[in-house]
Amino acid sequence: MSNPVAATIKEIAERLKVSPSTVSRALNNNTRIGKETRDKIQQLAKELNYEPNARAIFFKKQKSYVIGVVVPFIREEFFSQAISGIEAAAMENNYTILFGQSYDDPDRELTVLNAMKRQGVDGILISLSKKTRFAGQEAEFEKLGKPIVFFDRVPGTDQAHQVYCNVYKGTVQMVNWLMGKGYKRIALINGPGELLASRQRLKGYMDAISARKLKVNMQLVETTDFSKEATTRVVNGLLKMKSPPNAIISFNEYVHMDAVRAAEEKGIRINQELLFASYANLAITGYTAHPPVLSIEQFPYQQGEKAVEMLIRVLDEPHTEAFLQEEIDPQLIVHY
């Protein structure tokens, strides 16, 4: 069961009466080397099914070819897709990924990051926990001494490498579509104002309305802390208004599902008398009774891929000063 042979460069060298360095060169046929000896070496290497010892190489090169990846919850489809993208891009570049969850807990997040540091990862990809206040915490991240690329849930500063989807644009598109179809009373169930994602949604919402010379009715903008209870309360409040909304945009699809359930309990005919819209375009909503009619695809898989590429770029050019940023355009999806 344990590794049967594990031929080393040294062994090959001895057998062929050449020096280890010659073998090394022949195997990495980069340097100029005698065609004859090279063939001989490569053949024997194959016979002995030589496999380079990754541990030794990484040790020598002071590189591990391992990337640490931290996300809040892998059980959320958004993140599992992002991780799939990361995995694909990492393999493509001969990197492997070390993986950890923050469970949206900043302390746990730091614990995981430090574990990764100890493991000697080359760099880190992270989607921040909802409760992480990056401002004031920069030191903790700096202290890791590892290049970091943030993705999707990025810090609200441009002093960091990051890949994200501009939800602002998506929100504008969504409101425009709704307005165009005659939905004038659009409610927004937003997340806590501290979240960058919440601020982007709100700004998009307000700008899109203002652009049509309409006035934003702040009674239609509510906030949930993502608990089912809070969302239910908000929905009930909206439904009780004198002139209730005819469309509801939920912060994400988990909020959406709770909102739908709350409205259903009040006897609302979902997506008929009240249209539901949301963010993320997750496959699981396809199995629910009432998927959102509008959703904003944020391309988690692609974000993951881009994040890996960005990190590798940073690793390859360690002395670049500038912070890299990549913005991915969201896409408005209309489900009929």
177 is a site residue for a second copy (CB under 8 A): no
How is 266-334 classified by DSSP, letter by letter? TT--BTTTBEEEEES--GGGGGSSS--SEEEE--HHHHHHHHHHHHHHHHHSTT--SPPEEEE--EEEE
- Which residues from 211-250 bind a second copy, rule CB under 8 A? none
Cα diameter, the chain: 92
212 is a site residue for DNA (CB under 7 A): no
- Which residues from 13-42 bind DNA, rule CB under 7 A? 17-22, 24-25, 27-28, 31-34, 36-38
- The correct pick among 5, 6, 88, 91 for binding DNA (CB under 7 A) is 6
The count of other CB atoms within 10 Å of the CB of residue 141 is 21
- The correct pick among 5, 56, 211, 289 for binding DNA (CB under 7 A) is 56
Residue placing its CB nearer to DNA in the complex, 27 or 196: 27
The count of other CB atoms within 10 Å of the CB of residue 292 is 29
Helix axes 196-210, 167-180, angle to 10 degrees: 40
* Binding site partner of 24, from DNA, a second copy, none, Cβ cut-off 5-8 A by kind: DNA
283 is a site residue for a second copy (CB under 8 A): yes
Q: What's the min distance (Å) between Cβ of 92 and a second copy?
A: 11
Which window, 14-22, 30-38, 77-85, 187-195, contacts a second copy (CB under 8 A)? 77-85
> Cα-Cα-Cα-Cα dihedral of 295, 154, 168, 242, to 10°?
70
The count of other CB atoms within 10 Å of the CB of residue 52 is 13
Residue placing its CB nearer to a second copy in the complex, 19 or 59: 59
- Which residues from 62-101 bind DNA, rule CB under 7 A? 62
Whole-angstrom Cα Rg for the chain:
26
5 is a site residue for DNA (CB under 7 A): no
The count of other CB atoms within 10 Å of the CB of residue 35 is 10
DSSP annotation of 214 reads P
83 is a site residue for a second copy (CB under 8 A): yes
* Binding site partner of 46, from DNA, a second copy, none, Cβ cut-off 5-8 A by kind: none
Residue placing its CB nearer to a second copy in the complex, 33 or 160: 160
Q: What's the min distance (Å) between Cβ of 298 and a second copy?
A: 15
Residue placing its CB nearer to DNA in the complex, 57 or 334: 57
Residue placing its CB nearer to DNA in the complex, 6 or 289: 6
For 12-69, give the secondary structure using H, E and C. Answer: HHHHHCCCHHHHHHHHCCCCCCCHHHHHHHHHHHHHCCCCCCHHHHHHHHCCCCEEEE
Secondary element (H or E) of residue 165: strand 161-165
Residue placing its CB nearer to a second copy in the complex, 255 or 332: 255
Give me the sheet containing 275-279, strands edge to edge.
Answer: 221-223, 186-190, 247-250, 275-279, 294-297, 331-334
1 is a site residue for a second copy (CB under 8 A): yes
Among 242, 269, 271, 256, smallest CA distance to 183 is for 271
The residue count for binding a second copy (CB under 8 A) is: 51
Residues that bind a second copy (CB under 8 A): 1-4, 6, 51-56, 58-59, 62, 64-66, 74-75, 77, 80-81, 83-84, 87, 91, 96-101, 112, 115-120, 142, 145-147, 257, 283-284, 287-290, 318
Q: Provide the binding-site residues for DNA, judged by CB under 7 A.
A: 6, 8-10, 17-22, 24-25, 27-28, 31-34, 36-38, 52-53, 56-57, 59-62
